[in-house]
Amino acid sequence: MRKFLKIVILCLIIILALAVFLFCYFFVGKASVPKSITWGVDFSQMQAESLKLNWKETYLTIINDLGAKNIKIHTQWDWVEGKKDKYYFNDIDWQLAQAKNSDVKIIYVVGMKSGRWPECHVPVWASNLSEQQQQDEILKYIKEVVLRYKTNDVIINWQVENEPLFNFGKCPWYDKDFLKTEVAFVKSLDPSRQVIISDSGEQSDWFEAAKIADVVGVTMYRKVWAHVTDNLGFNVNSFLSPVTYWRKAQLVKKIYGKDVICIELQAEPWASKPFYDVSLEEQSKTMNPEIFAQNIEYAKQTGLDKFYLWGVEWWYWMKKVQNQPAIWNEAKKLFIN
């Protein structure tokens, strides 16, 4: 009995020591400061339109006034292929042409889950298809996109799906094997570009994404809305230290040889409803000029050297519609510098 107790105590000591080590490794210390940081934005035409903005005006102002030279564009399958085998590329062509005229570099998101609620954007005509049939149609859609734009040099990366390994959003299914198929298919069509897979910065170790991607793109959210139901939830503050991202990125680099970038840095509110249905007071609880500045400083301390800010459409809406340009003006300093 005494021998058994000694073994139990030894095991507890080992577990405690390991827990202390892991805590210190992931939460204590400071990251190496990068020599320079690249700042970009995520842009969604559909998000701009939902805020009742002129999306072309918004896009041009992001480039010409804000000064953003790196943009990730979120496109939707249901919008591009609203009717089966009928593809609408005019608006994307225009966005890429404006980017070329202003020497802007583009990350292009393609797939079923491409960002912005409900995350997965399945066309009505495909909604009742089986999982296998939907996957076949997604590959056809990807082929149309990649072959159309593979010679367009403003596109620096493809991003296949948006947080495809993270069960968030209203999606008909999640399939890691199909994600691997998608990535391999994109690379077969366009071997010249690296493929990004995005993953939750807070709720994943990024290893699965690193196994599939050429580059791992992670999110960075400090104040989020935790959904209990569609209309019920609560705000949650992240407890992660900036060095957590650095240490995880170093593990990904050492184990898989993959770089990590921040593909979504929170810079807009997170509420249970669209912004135009939420009071400005409620919006300010999760994003305001002070929180924006805190998030930027936090990002700098993570040691990562590339960030795409999430919320540029909202900044412009605040500036143009609400006559509150503070965040827009503060963000402009990042791109000017």
* SS3 category, 188: helix
* SS3 category, 266: strand
Q: What is the mean pLDDT of each run of 10 residues along the chain (337 residues)?
A: 70 69 66 91 97 97 98 97 98 98 98 96 98 98 98 98 95 97 98 98 95 98 68 68 95 98 96 83 93 96 97 97 97 91
- Exposed/middle/buried for residue 73 (C-beta within 10 Å: 0-12, 13-18, 19+): buried
pTM here is: 0.93
- DSSP E strands, 111-239: 155-160, 194-199, 215-220, 223-229, 232-237
- Exposed/middle/buried for residue 58 (C-beta within 10 Å: 0-12, 13-18, 19+): buried
| Geometric angle at alpha carbon 55, from 59 and 276, rounded to 5° | 115
Is the distance from CB of 196 to CB of 159 less than 8 angstroms? yes
* Strand (E) or helix (H) holding 84: none
The contacts of residue 17 (CB under 8 Å, 6+ apart) are none
Q: Output the CA torsion sign for 246, 252, 258, 263.
A: negative
- Strand partners of residue 227: 233
Residue 264 has a pLDDT of: 98
